[in-house]
Amino acid sequence: MKALLYERELRYVTDYPVPRPGKGEALVRIRYAGICSTDREIVRGYMDFRGIPGHEFVGTVVRCRGKASLVGKRVVGEINLGCGRCRLCRQGNQNHCPSRSVLGILNRDGVFAEYCVLPVRNLHVLPDSIADREAVFTEPLAAALEILDQVAVTPEHRVCVLGDGKLGLLAAQVLAEAGCRLTASGRHKEKLAILRKRGITTRQQNTLRGKDFDIVVDCTGSSEGILQALALVRPGGTVVLKSTVADPECLDSNYMIINEISIIGSRCGPFARAVEALQSKKVAVLPLISREFPLEEGVEAFRYALKKGVLKVLLKVDWDPIPLTPPAP
Ligand SMILES: [Zn+2]
Ligand SMILES: [Zn+2]
């Protein structure tokens, strides 16, 4: 199959073996995949990953060993694969299984290819009202919704989102929808405009002052963002960290203790609710798409995604009729 393969560099190949679904797994034909910041880090060596990157996708089940009724269904998929046996997995927390693999990130080929394999339990069937280009945002939108599972946000809360990248724009919309006194901030006028159009208050990030916010969500992907979040949150307030690339040394534990600040790490979130949010059209994702490339031009798509000011870049995997049986592996 066609795929983007990362070994020491990213390249496009046409002879990668089609993965075979094991028991309880489905073979999914990819329709669209999204390039996210994690993928950009992976092709710079993050996680020491080797193989096919990519974890944001929408596809069609073409073969299934476990639930035949899924064949032909359009699906999105959760990216963490737990062992299914440890205490965390048994508690339904496979996202944190110590021996998990993660689609396109850790010990498991991802979705920048014609096919991928995922366990049936990871898949969510999409309603027809969600377009492919919207569905590809399910994973990052779930990550934004995770904030609401971790912090009780009320209409009185003054909440600030730092960062106007893809995750920041999704987090701001999710928090606005939840109801709170929200300020979204970033460095790019044109990106903040996407939020202003939806009635969300926005500020240039470098003009924010004071310790007024009950909750600050850092989506900047930088150490400076974490420092700014700590500077903006009120004593007794909460900082939600969404950035994984930052330097951990910037967290000053004395400051957090003296001011009794709660720090919450936040990663993957609830897929079912993300699908619902896309269906309700209460979160606008299409304005976040900067450009679309065919899979064949994936290497160039990555180069483009690295450019300043670019939001979501999609890879389209072209195929005409829905093949109900994949080509012989
Ligand atoms: Zn992602
Ligand atoms: Zn486990």
Interval 154-173: pLDDT, tens: 999 999 999 999 999 999 99
Distance 92 CA to ligand 2 centre (A): 9
pLDDT tens readout for residues 296-326: 999 999 999 999 889 999 999 976 544 545 5
Q: Are 312 and 35 in contact (CB under 8 A)?
A: yes
Return the H-helix or E-strand segment holding 138: helix 138-150
Please calculate the CA angle 18-291-283 and round it to the nearest 5 degrees: 95
49: Cα separation from own chain's centroid:
18
3-state secondary structure of 84: coil
Percent of the chain with pLDDT over 90: 84
Distance 260 CA to ligand 1 centre (A): 31
Q: How many CB atoms within 10 Å of residue 38?
A: 21
Distance 189 CA to ligand 2 centre (A): 44
AA identity, residue 130: I
DSSP 75: E
Confidence class for position 12, pLDDT limits 50, 70, 90: very high
Q: Bigger pLDDT: 4 or 223?
A: 4
AA identity, residue 189: K
Distance 190 CA to ligand 1 centre (A): 22
Q: Is 96 exposed, middle or buried (0-12, 13-18, 19+ CB in 10 A)?
A: middle
pLDDT tens readout for residues 193-251: 999 999 999 999 999 998 999 999 999 988 889 899 999 999 999 999 997 765 667 77
Q: Starting from the CA of residue 54, give the closest ligand.
A: 1
Q: Identify the pLDDT of residue 277.
A: 97
As a residue count, the chain comes to 329
Distance 107 CA to ligand 1 centre (A): 16
Q: Retrieve residue 278's tokens.
A: 């896309």
Return the H-helix or E-strand segment holding 133: helix 132-135
Q: Which of 151, 154, 147, 124 is nearest to 57 (CA)?
A: 124
CB contact set of 97 (below 8 Å; sequence gap of 6+) = 80, 82, 83, 86, 88, 89
Q: Starting from the CA of residue 142, give the closest ligand.
A: 1
Q: Which residue has the tokens 């904030």?
A: 147
Distance 121 CA to ligand 2 centre (A): 14
3-state secondary structure of 118: strand
